[in-house]
Amino acid sequence: MKPVIAFVTGGYSGEAVVSYKSAITIEQNLDPEKYEVYRINITPEEWFHPTADGGKIPVDKSDFTLTIAGKKIRFNGVFIGIHGTPGEDGKLQGYFDLMGLPYTSCDAAVSALTFNKRYTVAVAAFGGIRVAKSLHLFKAQPLSSAQVLAQLKLPVFVKPNNGGSSIGMSKVNLPEELAPAIEKAFKEDAQVLVEEFITGREFTIGVYRSKGAIHVLPITEVKSKKEFFDFEAKYTPGLAMETTPAEIDAALQSQLEMNAKKVYELFNCRGVVRMDFIYEPEIKEPFLLEINTVPGQSEASIVPQQVRASGGTLKDFYSALLDECLA
């Protein structure tokens, strides 16, 4: 009997559009010879399995099952393809834990922690990983621009503390730009992270666990044609130059891989995660920016690029993630 897998996509945030882009690649590469896969769309209005003829079969949320032609479909595992809430922030993971269902991402606690950028860097710093100096702002207790600038040096990045895809993010070079940037970020989230800008080379690294061992995918160097790698640069062809594998010497490659493995272990990650680092050339150290526990999987996304650069196929890669989760 083939394992029965629920592939979940969609989500409750603006990142759902990115989830649906990832879904195309994932669906094309989940091996039908090995798994019986049912797509589940999770939206704020309904959870359903879309049928070939355009119909919708509702999910029974009491036990996460489908009933098709009078037969109850129970799942052996879940492939998580939701960016943003509830698939990347631990909410769905907690639900699947209650259902006793294994899934391909980090657990509920790690997902919730890494979805919060400030808590991520705080735990990383505690574990000996270098991070930028930052301030955590709350809508209920706002700080003035002067209070922020008394503690941090310009330029700074201002970003919503939760969420991804660089929505609501700004780079601030002048004091008068800070208040509007904070206001823009607060439109996306009730918490905001203000972080000192680190100059250097930006690298992003996919890391996953298979057969109990931690594997690092080929490293990507990202150079944005805009001032930084924002939503537009991420999703507009030609605005960012991504080089996989990065053109770096063996010593830097080893240093980045070692840091990526350390972060994966420190946070007790599962499945594939993507970490962003800035390598500061003067002190010759990588600084961790953030951790994505459900990285993009569209054709142009970084993890699929890295899998191809490693000489592997996405079909084998997704099988490895599923086999690890089912084990």
Domain boundaries along the sequence of the chain: 4-105, 112-130+199-326, 134-196
Fold of the domain built from segment(s) 4-105: Rossmann fold (3.40.50)
Single pTM value for the model: 0.91
pLDDT at 166: 62
Mean pLDDT, the chain, rounded, equals 93
Does the structure show a pLDDT above 70 at 128?
yes
Closest to 294 in 3D by CA, of 47, 120, 89: 89
Task: Determine what percent of the chain is predicted with pLDDT higher than 90.
Answer: 86
Q: Name the phi and psi angles at 324, rounded to 5.
A: -65, -40
What does the block give as tokens for 209?
């666990």
- pLDDT tens-place string over residues 316-326: 999 999 999 99
H-helix segments, 127-196: 145-149, 178-186
pLDDT digits (tens, 9 = 90+) for 90-102: 999 999 999 999 9
Would you say 274 and 260 are in contact if contact means Cβ atoms under 8 Å apart?
no
Task: State which H helix or E strand residue 83 sits in.
Answer: none
Peptide bond into 237 cis (omega under 30): no
Q: In this structure, how many other beta carbons lie within 10 angstroms of the beta carbon of residue 102?
A: 16
Fold of 112-130+199-326: D-amino Acid Aminotransferase; Chain A, domain 1 (3.30.470)
Report, at the CATH architecture level, how domain 134-196 is classified. 2-Layer Sandwich (3.30)
